[in-house]
Amino acid sequence: MLLDKCFIIAELSANHGGDIEIAKETVRAAKRAGADAIKLQTYTADTITLDVRSDLFKIDQGTAWDGQYLHDLYKQASLPWEWHKELYDLAKEEGLVCFSSPFDFTAVDFLEKLQTPIYKVASFEITDIPLIEYIASKQKPIIISTGIATIEDIELAISACKKEGNNDITILKCTSAYPASPEDANLLTIPDIKEKFNVKVGLSDHTMGTEAPTVAVALGATVIEKHFILNKEIGGADAHFSLDEEEFTQMVNAVRLTERLMGKVDYEMNDKKQSSRTFSRSLFISEDVKKGDIITKHNIKSVRPNYGLHPKYYNDVLGKTFTTNAIKGTPLSLDIIK
């Protein structure tokens, strides 16, 4: 699934405005912005919740969606299933990977018909072990967000995948707040997840701006997911914490720069380093001397450039004798001392 670079996912989510042309142009914009993939969400209001008008099904968590019933929100935000094939085909034409988050078994079956190459498990579905097992059984790479997860939840989800013989698992650090504050990002969890669970790691980012993804990459993230919108004026359930094309492009550029900056562990001496060593220090004669003079701290000095004896010999040569006359600025060498 993953490339030899960070896999950057543009999350379409609800940012389609109920118009397939907006959705299609968003796919094209994601390509222009430098994304590697466009991700959909495959559900209907009825496959994700119940149409029940009670307080149990009304949002009251201090979010931008407070006061709405879950069924109403998901009915408004869902991507029509009949759009999926067009979007998958368009993404392929654009050179993007297209995949989705299924929210029930029927969505998995539907995505299998589209030959989806990857599956994503959303944060709130990490506790749905039967769904994760069913997804994993399809033997596709699986990405799992951890926005509401405990360590036990992560362990159970990974075990569910491995139970089905699926070991291609990427766990995304995620903060389930929309938007998330920097103080809640806790990106140091990324390398801990990698070490603790022995899986690939990444970030599903809900913070505003582009800083968190670059830090995540520096900490070892191989996947970055960010909500993407063609134009924030479209509005919708996720518009307030999504990046537009210009912002997403800035994020991609920052991530790619971070990758170049991180590079590799490198102690090798190349031509550029060797050339720069000219400006390192070496031992030079610091005042005119005559044959027979004793070498002291007053007539040799460790200075730039690097044309004389290595400074590590400084104490070794003190007290030795010059075998020839030499002027100030002469590189010290073993053939003029004894």
156 and 246 housed in the same domain: yes
211 and 288 housed in the same domain: no
147 and 179 housed in the same domain: yes
217 and 315 housed in the same domain: no
Q: Count Cα neighbours of 316 within 13 Å in the Cβ-side half-sphere.
A: 11
- The DSSP output letter for 27 is H
| pLDDT value of position 234 | 87
pLDDT digits (tens, 9 = 90+) for 309-319: 999 999 999 99
What percent of the chain is modeled with pLDDT above 90?
83
Is there a domain that residue 29 lies in? yes
pLDDT digits (tens, 9 = 90+) for 290-336: 999 999 999 999 999 999 999 999 999 999 999 999 999 999 999 99
Is there a domain that residue 150 lies in? yes
| pLDDT value of position 255 | 97
65 pLDDT above the threshold of 80? no
200 and 250 housed in the same domain: yes
2 pLDDT above the threshold of 60? no
Q: What is the mean pLDDT of residues 264-269?
A: 88
pLDDT digits (tens, 9 = 90+) for 245-265: 999 999 999 999 999 999 988
Is there a domain that residue 317 lies in? yes
pLDDT digits (tens, 9 = 90+) for 183-237: 999 999 999 999 999 999 999 999 988 899 999 999 999 999 999 999 998 888 7
Per DSSP, helices labelled H in the chain are 20-33, 45-48, 70-77, 84-94, 105-113, 129-136, 151-163, 189-197, 211-218, 245-262, 271-276, 314-317
Q: How many domains does the chain have?
A: 2
CA 258 to chain centre: 9
135 and 282 housed in the same domain: no
Cα–Cα dist 140/124, whole Å: 20
3 pLDDT above the threshold of 70? no
The residue count for the chain: 338
CATH number at residue 223: 3.20.20.70
More confident position, 246 or 273: 246
212 and 89 housed in the same domain: yes
101 and 242 housed in the same domain: yes
Q: What is the CA radius of gyration of the chain?
A: 30
22 and 113 housed in the same domain: yes
Whole-prediction pTM: 0.87
Q: At what angle do helices 20-33 and 84-94 cross, to 10 degrees?
A: 30
Is there a domain that residue 218 lies in? yes
Is there a domain that residue 64 lies in? no
Residue at which a domain ends, from 245, 262, 279:
262
Mention every residue, 6+ apart, whose C-beta is less than 8 A from residue 320.
Answer: 294, 295, 337, 338
Is there a domain that residue 313 lies in? yes
| pLDDT value of position 215 | 97
16 and 85 housed in the same domain: yes
275 pLDDT above the threshold of 70? yes
Q: Are 213 and 205 in contact (CB under 8 A)?
A: yes
56 pLDDT above the threshold of 70? yes
Q: What confidence category does residue 97 fall into, taking pLDDT thresholds of 50, 70 and 90?
A: very high
Strand 300-303 to 282-285 pairing: antiparallel
- Domain range for 162 is 7-43+78-262
Q: What is the mean pLDDT of residues 23-44?
A: 98
CATH number at residue 305: 3.90.1210.10
CA 138 to chain centre: 26
Cα–Cα dist 203/223, whole Å: 6
Cα–Cα dist 32/325, whole Å: 70
